[in-house]
Amino acid sequence: MTKNNRGDIKAVRHLVSLSDLSARQIEEVFRIARDMKAHPDRYRSCLRGKTVAMIFQKPSTRTRVSFETGIYQMGGSSLYLAPNDLQLGRGETIADTARVLSRYVNAIVARVFAQDDVAEMARSGSVPVINGLSDRSHPCQAVADYFTLLEKKKRLPGLKLAYVGDGNNVANSLIEGAAKLGVNISVACPEGYEPDPEVLGSARRAARKTHSKIEIVRKPSEAVRGADAVYTDAWTSMGQEAEEQKRRLVFREYQVSASLFGRAKRSAVFMHCLPAHRGEEVSADVMDSSASIVFDQAENRIYTQKAILYLLLLQPDSAVA
């Protein structure tokens, strides 16, 4: 981005992890997403003539549909590339793939296994790269989550978010976002299933400026106590299927049940990035309760991702039709 009437906001080059965005840039994504949600016609042709390549090593519902639909709604086109459509990291190096695609398209969305793969694309290509999910990060999900929480609570600084379960890619990105936005986050997870230590270290340094509190606890009841929002995710992520039975045993005390959710504030909301497994990480009565905002989170993926594309591909002063 360039300097405009909203102040000096530096350019966003890629979104490999949420650490790539400053707090002001995340807030700018929120502002644009809010405007896109309220006034979609203003942006209906802003990506006209632009193509986004979508590299998906992992299957997807929300990420693929929200990006493809959002790109179409902005007048652009998307090119879906499944594992069999290209030889990513096998017949051709990741760096060469990124260099070649950069000659054809205006941006790349990559949903991959290894964080290093999407980072290598960003280093080697000459167009913006967006991490649509990796084993370490899910920045697009976290941006949509905090946008949804802001919609519901009207503020973010000082809120308490409790995360219960596996310290996975979603947990990592939520921690990064909490540190930048002044949200207090308490993660309850079994020993050996903590969030990435590098993410924790970096987030805790960032939290010094926002006074965000980041804690890792073992007891779900401790994390949930007094929380404004309770978040969970599947116990077994894609690529971990061989561990499914073991993980069910390890996480059996980490289900967000009605009893556990009742320890949060009476005004608390329940969050999940989906897909949800009722009876495992969350009970059906919590998942389907009036406190659940999971489908609002899913819907907001389209608006926040459109805003991210807008920031990466367009100058903020560009005219929108």
Strands (E), the chain: 51-56, 77-81, 107-111, 129-133, 160-164, 184-188, 214-217, 229-232, 269-272
Q: Which of 136, 138, 247, 272 is catalytic?
A: 138
Distance, CA of 129 to CA of 117 (rounded, Å): 11
Active site residue 301: yes
Active site residue 42: no
Q: Which of 25, 141, 255, 305 is catalytic?
A: 141
Active site residue 233: yes
Distance, CA of 104 to CA of 155 (rounded, Å): 41
Q: Which of 46, 140, 189, 273 is catalytic?
A: 273
From the number of C-beta atoms within 10 Å of its C-beta (0-12, 13-18, 19+), residue 282 rates as: buried
Q: Which of 111, 136, 247, 272 is catalytic?
A: 111
Q: Which of 115, 117, 233, 247 is catalytic?
A: 233
Active site residue 136: no
Active site residue 155: no
DSSP code at position 8: -
Token digits of residue 171: 């947990």
Q: Give the closest residue to 58 by CA, choosing from 113, 119, 107, 114.
A: 113
Vertex 113 angle, CA 199 and 284, to 5° = 80
From the number of C-beta atoms within 10 Å of its C-beta (0-12, 13-18, 19+), residue 40 rates as: middle
Instruction: Give residue for tokens 């590339």.
Output: 81
Instruction: Give residue for tokens 């805003």.
Output: 307
Distance, CA of 250 to CA of 173 (rounded, Å): 23
Active site residue 34: no
Q: Which residues are catalytic?
A: 111, 138, 141, 233, 273, 301
